[in-house]
Amino acid sequence: MNKHIRYSDEVRKALLADKPVVALESTIIAHGMPYPQNIAMARQVEAIVRECGATPATIAVLNGEICVGCDDDTLEYLGKGGRDIPKAGKRDLPYLVFQRKDGATTVGATAWIAAKCGIPVFATGGIGGVHREAEKTFDISNDLEVLSECDVAVVSAGAKAILDLGRTLEYLETKGVEVIGYRTDHFPAFYTAKSPHRVNHRLDTPEEIARHLLVKSELGIKGGVLIANPIPAELEIKSEEIEGKITEALLAAKKENVTGKALTPYLLFKIKELTTGRSLDANIVLVYNNAYLAATIAVALKENQKRA
């Protein structure tokens, strides 16, 4: 056990008993949604994971400790603190621990911590990626680099729709990160179930994905896997509608000179405003959808490991 990592009793018991655990990020709570929807979402995601037979491990940095598993008071604190709580990428962890500060872990930081703790499955909303106009700004999320380094399967609804999806997939290809489409041949676009871009491989059941992950481990192939799980089609926002809102939000961000870590939260909140809340509703649904799939994969993976 690392001296800088504190496990909740629930997560510690599950890990020691070799039970399935699903990692969950905290940036989505503090920066991805407004209060109080963020708290309701976080609690429901944990409930979904438990109902599927796995243990949720929401990860955050609190007073300089990396917490793997958060109690209800901590979820409330993260939700109310919102954007006053710093986003914590992998590079920020030493500083936050040393300075005894708080941090809401990004996809990249959460994946790194999950891998270090032996948690092989992680559920989120959408990963970061290559931003639009990255050829000018060089704005590429560290999520992609960390995914290439960590042996974690990340379940998401693709990458956030505000990004350049084609270039994000090219970057993942360069880094050797396999993209598996769950019941789809096409990479989902967060609010939209299908983009023009194709995934590397398609698998149609959690059991198939679990067996695939086990074989990858047995072969000794390092690095992460991105499991692309489309938002249910009946709840998606069609691409022609959401693209217009994204363009409008990007123009507003440019006008207000919003860049760096502040850009993604700004765009998500702006798009919520422009869609009169429909984007937030879609975001919440896709997170629930991902939590369910991640938990069923985690359970199937443990069953397969015991039979191997």
Report, as residue numbers or ranges, the catalytic residues: 25, 160
b/e code 150-170 from CB counts within 10 Å (16+ = b)? bbbbbbbbbbbbbbbbebbbe
Report whether 165 contacts 190 (CB < 8 A).
Answer: no
Report whether 235 contacts 285 (CB < 8 A).
Answer: yes
Give the number of other CB atoms < 10 A from CB of residue 266: 20
Sign of CA dihedral 61, 64, 70, 73: negative
Report whether 118 contacts 138 (CB < 8 A).
Answer: no
- The full length of the chain comes to 308
Amino acid letter at 167? R
Helix (H, G, I), strand (E, B) or coil at 153: strand
β-pair type (21-24, 87-88): unpaired
Report the alpha-carbon distance of residue 167 to residue 30 in Å, rounded: 27
Give the tokens for residue 292.
């369910």
Q: Which residues pair with 123 in a beta bridge?
A: 24, 155
